[in-house]
Amino acid sequence: MDWLELKPEGLFCVPGAFYIDPLQPVAHAVITHGHSDHARPGHQHVTATPETLSIMRLRMGEDRAGESQQALEYGEVISVGAVRLWLAPAGHVLGSAQIVMEYQGQRAVVSGDYKRAPDPTCTPFEVVPCDLFVTEATFGLPVFRLPDPAHEIGKLLHDVRLFPERTHVVGCYALGKCQRLIALLRNAGYHEPLWLHGALLPMCSLYEGFGIQLGELKSATAAKKGEMRGGIVLAPPSAIADRWARRLPDPVVCLASGWMHVRQRAKARGVELPMVISDHADWDALLDTCQATGAKEIWVTHGREEALIHALGKLGIRGCSLRLIGYEEDDEQAEEDAMA
C-alpha cells in the first residue's frame, strides 16, 4: 500500500497528512493509546479517543498534550484530507484504539498495542476487516502462549491466604496494568482495601472518572507500616525491590507482566511470585488476529517481528517489518522510564 509511508517522525498517512503515534513533534498526530512510547508531547493537533486525550493531559499537562485536541469516539467517522478515518477498540488499555483509514477503496488498520484476552477495564478488541493490517509483535514467539489471567490472580490470592502475616507487593505499571489487576482481584472476590504507591493513584482516579469501579484504594505512602500487613500493595516495578519497599512489613515481591512467562526473566527481576499477566496479544492471538482481518499484507511495527512474519508466510500472508525504532519492546520499560 503506497499511501502509508515510513518517515523519520513515524508512520505517515500521505492523503490525510497525519502521523500515527509519531516519535517527534508533528503538525497532526493520531494517537493509538496513552503509553509514553506511543503518546508523546508537543504535537500541534492531536486526534484520539476522549479517554486517551484525558490520559495525555494527566501525564503531560494541558499545554503539552497537543495545541488543539480532537476527541473521536469509537466508530465515529471523520474525513481528514482525502481519507476516511475512524477508531476501533484495541482492548489494550482504557481508550486504546486501532486507527482505521480508507482511501481509494482500500482500507488500512494500524493496531497500536492490543490484546484479545478479556479486560474489565477497557472495551474489547474489535476485528476490522482490511487490506493492510499493521500489527505489534511484543510477544511474537510461539513460547508466549499466555495463561488465563484469572489463574494468575488465583496464585496471588492463594499465596495471600497461605502467608497472612506477610505483605504482597505487586509490581505493575501505572496505566492499564494497575487498574486491570485491581479489577481482576475484585472479580475474584477480593474486596479488601488495596494499598497503592503514590505514582499509581492519579491514573486510578482517571479510570474511575470514566466509570470503571475499582473499589476501596488507599495510599501506601501515607500508611503506617503495620496497617498493610497481610494486605496487597500495588507499586511501579521500579519501586518493588528498592528502598520504597522497606516501608512494607515483610514483603513478598510479585510482578505482573507477560515477560514473567519465562523463568530467566522472572529470576533476573528478583521476583518471588511471578504473575503472567500481559496487556499485549500473545502468539496465538497475533496469528488469529492477522488472519481474522483478512488482510493480504501485514506490517509489523515493533516486537519480535521475524518469527511472526515467518509464521504468516507459512499461512500465505505476506508480512514485512517496519522496524520502527523508538517503540519499546516492552511497555513496562517505557512506562518505568517515563516515571523516572
d(CA 324, CA 209): 34
- Interacting residues with Zn ion between 97 and 116 (CB under 5 A): 113
Interacting span for other proteins (CB under 8 A) from 42-50, 67-75, 162-170, 188-196: 162-170
Q: Which of 29, 141, 160, 290 binds other proteins (CB under 8 A)?
A: 141
Instruction: Tell whether residue 157 is a contact of other proteins (CB under 8 A).
Output: no
- Among other proteins, Zn ion, none, partner that 145 touches (CB below 5 to 8 angstroms by kind): other proteins
C-beta closer to other proteins: residue 164 or 211? 164
C-beta closer to other proteins: residue 130 or 241? 241
Q: Could you give the string, one character per residue 262-291, with x where binding to other proteins holds by CB under 8 A and - elsewhere?
A: xxx-xx--xxxxx-----------------
Applying CB under 8 A, the site for other proteins has a residue count of 34
- Interacting residues with other proteins between 33 and 62 (CB under 8 A): none
Nine-digit cell string for 292? 481474522
Q: Could you give the string, one character per residue 312-331, with x where binding to other proteins holds by CB under 8 A and - elsewhere?
A: --x-----------------
Torsion angles phi and psi, residue 313, rounded to 5 = -55, -40
CA 301 to chain CA mean position, Å: 15
d(CA 223, CA 227): 7
3-state SS, residue 136: strand
d(CA 312, CA 288): 10
Contact status, residue 99 vs residue 85, Cβ threshold 8 Å: yes
C-beta closer to other proteins: residue 91 or 236? 236
C-beta closer to other proteins: residue 28 or 166? 166
Q: State in angstroms the smallest separation of the CB of 245 from other proteins.
A: 6
The dihedral formed by the CA atoms of 117, 122, 126 and 132, expressed in degrees to the nearest 10: -90
Q: State in angstroms the smallest separation of the CB of 247 from other proteins.
A: 10
User: Within a 10 A sphere around the Cβ of 315, how many other Cβ atoms?
Assistant: 11
Long-range contacts of 311-319 (CB under 8 A, 24+ apart): 311/142, 311/287, 312/287, 315/287, 315/291, 317/290, 317/291, 319/290
Instruction: Tell whether residue 311 is a contact of other proteins (CB under 8 A).
Output: yes
Please tell me the number of Cα atoms within 13 Å of 205 on its side-chain side.
Answer: 9
Q: Which of 11, 16, 28, 35 binds Zn ion (CB under 5 A)?
A: 35
Q: Which of 145, 229, 296, 318 binds other proteins (CB under 8 A)?
A: 145
- Interacting residues with other proteins between 93 and 132 (CB under 8 A): none
- Among other proteins, Zn ion, none, partner that 126 touches (CB below 5 to 8 angstroms by kind): none
C-beta closer to Zn ion: residue 317 or 324? 324
- Among Zn ion, other proteins, none, partner that 113 touches (CB below 5 to 8 angstroms by kind): Zn ion
Cα–Cα distances (Å) from 325 to 37, 63, 99, 242, in that order, read 10, 26, 19, 30
Q: State in angstroms the smallest separation of the CB of 199 from other proteins.
A: 17
- 65-88 burial: b if 16+ Cβ within 10 Å, else e: bbeebeebebeeeeebeebebbbb
Instruction: Tell whether residue 332 is a contact of Zn ion (CB under 5 A).
Output: no
Q: What is the DSSP letter of 223?
A: S
Q: Which stretches of the chain bind other proteins, using CB under 8 A?
A: 141-145, 147, 162-163, 166, 241-243, 245-246, 250, 252-253, 261-264, 266-267, 270-274, 304, 306-307, 310-311, 314
Q: Which stretches of the chain bind Zn ion, using CB under 5 A?
A: 35, 113, 331
